[in-house]
Amino acid sequence: MTQDKYLARIAALLRKAEGTDNEHEADAYLQAAQRLATQESVDLAVARAHTAHREQRAAPTQRAIDIGEAGKRGLRTYVQLFLAIARANNLTCDVARNSTRVFAYGFEADIRAAEALYASLVVQMVRASDTYIKSREYTKELVPKEVKVPGSERYERRLGLVADFQVVGRPVHATTARLNFQDAFAIRIGTRLAEAREEARQEAVARDEASGSAKVGVALALRDKEVELLAHYRATSTARGSWPGSRPTGGYSEHSRRAGDRAGRSARLGGEPAIGGSRTAIGGSP
């Protein structure tokens, strides 16, 4: 028997001794615990600490994650990427109105997993968008723009006429292309992670049902976790209003969005999916 198992046995005897009102039973349990401890040279205090450590229950917490400096272009798409990762890792988030910071609420292991995955994916997103912009592929897409038809403004004013306009095609601006690329990248990452999370949930529930030991089933445990997180968020968050960055701004580029989606499909997600308890970031195949 390993020392860990001895510690568990001694701790169980101590719990019984401390949980009974019968003095004789308490004494018997204490003596049994002491004999076993003496045999294995284990201090009773160590056994109690072992129990406390094993039974210590993780509690939800919150952490501020810096996204970037105020005024930096593309912060909204960076936040969108983090939120996509956060949702797949059981986190609820508040966002600063200027998109410089995200406040993540959840279990410590899940927050660490989301941060690690974001640190990898944001580098991939920026690198892929840089490559796309340098390729100038986005300039092949023309967007309609109204241009005033040349004429005599004095004559138009005298007759009370409104100047005529014609629609011409202009190349997409590089900033518009980059923002659309990164937005589509973040959306695709969110889809992949959501699929990976659901697949992992189903596998965990299936294993639980197959084992036939549904004392506290995986599905119920996950539901309890969600309820606890929601209660923690409602009790802790001081956010008011909605994050303005969630609303689309700027121009639209279909070509850039398709390119960003492709990059999101091929991005490396890192760790394998896992459900419940400490784990690495959720990942999956495209």
Mind listing the pLDDT tens digit for each residue in 149-177?
555 555 455 555 555 565 566 888 999 99
State whether 198 and 103 are in the same domain: yes
State whether 107 and 198 are in the same domain: yes
Contact predicate 284/196, CB 8 Å: yes
Domain count, the chain: 2
Rounded to whole angstroms, how far apart are CA atoms 175 and 251?
9
Banded pLDDT at 109 (limits 50, 70, 90): confident
**pLDDT at residue 82 above 70?**
yes
Rounded to whole angstroms, how far apart are CA atoms 220 and 112?
24
Percent of the chain having pLDDT more than 70? Answer: 64
Q: How many CA atoms lie within 13 A of 22 on its CB side?
A: 5
State whether 227 and 248 are in the same domain: yes
Per-range mean pLDDT, top range of 30-44, 61-75, 215-229: 61-75
State whether 73 and 122 are in the same domain: yes
Residue 158 inside a domain? The answer is no
Rounded to whole angstroms, how far apart are CA atoms 244 and 114?
23
State whether 132 and 197 are in the same domain: yes
Mean pLDDT taken over the chain: 77
Residue 127 inside a domain? The answer is yes
Residue 285 inside a domain? The answer is no
Provide the β-strand partners of residue 103: 64, 94
Which pLDDT value is given to residue 283?
37
State whether 91 and 209 are in the same domain: yes
Residue 166 inside a domain? The answer is no
Rounded to whole angstroms, how far apart are CA atoms 198 and 61?
24
Overall average pLDDT of the 111-136 stretch: 93
Contact predicate 110/274, CB 8 Å: no
Cα end-to-end span (Å), the chain: 45
Contacts of 154 (CB under 8 A, 6+ apart): none
State whether 260 and 179 are in the same domain: yes
Residue 228 structural domain: 61-138+173-266
Residue 284 inside a domain? The answer is no
State whether 43 and 119 are in the same domain: no
Question: pLDDT for 246-260, tens place per residue?
Answer: 665 668 899 999 999
Question: pLDDT for 42-51, tens place per residue?
Answer: 554 555 555 5
Banded pLDDT at 131 (limits 50, 70, 90): very high
State whether 11 and 130 are in the same domain: no
Residue 276 inside a domain? The answer is no
Residue 239 inside a domain? The answer is yes
For residue 243, the one-letter residue type is W
| DSSP assignment string, 161-209 | PPPPEEEEEEEPPHHHHHHHHHHHHHHHHHHHHHHHHHHHHHHHHHHHH
State whether 9 and 121 are in the same domain: no
More confident residue, 185 or 7: 185
State whether 181 and 105 are in the same domain: yes
Which pLDDT value is given to residue 158?
54
In the chain the beta strands, taken as DSSP E runs, fall at: 61-66, 92-95, 101-106, 142-148, 165-171
Rounded to whole angstroms, how far apart are CA atoms 79 and 269?
17
Rounded to whole angstroms, how far apart are CA atoms 175 and 253?
10
State whether 69 and 28 are in the same domain: no
Which pLDDT value is given to residue 273?
39
Question: pLDDT for 88-107, tens place per residue?
Answer: 888 999 999 999 999 999 98
**pLDDT at residue 212 above 70?**
no
Rounded to whole angstroms, how far apart are CA atoms 16 and 148?
89
| Per-residue CA distances from 206 to 140, 218, 274 (Å) | 49, 9, 14
Rounded to whole angstroms, how far apart are CA atoms 44 and 221?
32
DSSP annotation of 137: G
Residue 199 inside a domain? The answer is yes
Contact predicate 256/172, CB 8 Å: yes
For residue 225, the one-letter residue type is K
Banded pLDDT at 284 (limits 50, 70, 90): very low
- Give the phi and the psi of residue 149 in degrees, each rounded to 5: -75, 130
